[in-house]
Amino acid sequence: MKNVTKANVLFTATVLVYLILVYTIRLIPAGTFSMNFLLIMPEIILLLPSILYMAFMRDDTVSDCGVAKISPLTTFFTVLFAFCIIPLVSFINMISSLFVENGVSETLTRTVESNSLIVNLLVIALLPAVVEEIIFRGLIFNGYKKRNPFKAALLSAFLFGLIHMNINQFSYAFVIGILFALLTYVTGSVIPSIIAHFIVNGTSVVLSHLLVKLQKTDVAVNQATEMIVDENAIRVALFLMMAVMALAGLALAVLLFYGICRKNRGFESFKMILKKPMRNSYDETQGRFFDGFLLLGIGICVLYIVYYEFMI
């Protein structure tokens, strides 16, 4: 089977297994499982098709999963890069939340109130970072890049957004999916994207813990928060401030990405995949991006998102 075809089969199998097993678990009476179990199980379910894939597909696609060592300087630049893109992620999330429900914030608040900071960092930040990066940047992106690296980054990011099964998370997952795929490409390792993913998730966890603790210790904070939400002028000011922070963070992230390129594959190699001849060239021996397998997976995700957003 061709590399791109195998990646497409993996994505659709992941979608099917995820939906079937998650909804099977939901048939069990509420209260049977703990909150932590319900947070961990979706990630384990996501990983199951990839475990089977790696067990049976003993070829270059698996070896290209990219769990390779990176230098200390690359690690340092990656950490800074991750912190720099957080304002961009927050800004996209803010815009998306104006139009669709933000279910993540509600779930995060519940887990913050029931778990310690360390537990939440492990369950909400570290586990998803490792699982999702191995699947989407390690196996799927590396399977696609043999056909066309630039299109591989876009398509793997699109699928990464879809697997979250809601519009709010899709909006920022698609953007960071592109950035993480490019990190994986220029370093030849999935470890930088795991680090960046963990920092983005972990920052949300830490800030949520601080906010809940602050609200519990000072009732006036809650009153002030309610007043701020009712003030349109302050909303606009907050929006503009977030936009400026997002642009400034993105500019710094670009500089750090340049440094990561120089330290690894080289900036010329990165520029090459952006040039028109490379963008429009394909290795036809690797299979087609949009075949029947992938269209089935995308179709299932889109139908579920429509059902979730407009019917539930």
Could you report the per-residue pLDDT of 33-58, keeping only the tens digit for each?
A: 788 888 899 899 999 999 988 887 75
On average, the pLDDT of the chain sits at 88
Contacts of 58 (CB under 8 A, 6+ apart): none
Which residue in this structure is represented by tokens 């384990």? 44
pLDDT at 78: 97
Angle of CA points 36, 38, 39, to nearest 5°: 65
User: Residue 100, exposed/middle/buried by CB under 10 A (0-12, 13-18, 19+)?
Assistant: middle
Q: What is the count of structural domains for the chain?
A: 1
Question: What DSSP letter does each residue of 27-44 carry, written as one string?
Answer: TSPTTSS-HHHHHHHHHH
Given this model, what pLDDT does residue 128 score?
95
pLDDT recorded at residue 221: 46
pLDDT attached to residue 3? 86
Q: Counting every residue, how long is the chain?
A: 312
Compute the half-sphere exposure of residue 41: CA atoms within 13 Å on the CB side of its CA: 16
Instruction: Give CA–CA dist 170/27, Å, rounded.
Output: 26
pLDDT tens digits for range 74-131: 999 999 999 999 999 999 999 999 888 887 877 787 788 788 899 999 999 999 999 9
In which domain, by residue range, is 21 found?
Answer: 3-310
For residue 217, what pLDDT is reported? 66
Please state the pTM of the whole predicted model.
0.91
Rounding to the nearest 10 degrees, give the CA dihedral for residues 266, 269, 271, 274.
Answer: -140
DSSP reduced 3-state for 190: coil
pLDDT of residue 297: 97
Low-confidence ranges of the chain (pLDDT < 50): 220-221, 224, 227-228
Q: What is the DSSP letter of 70?
A: -
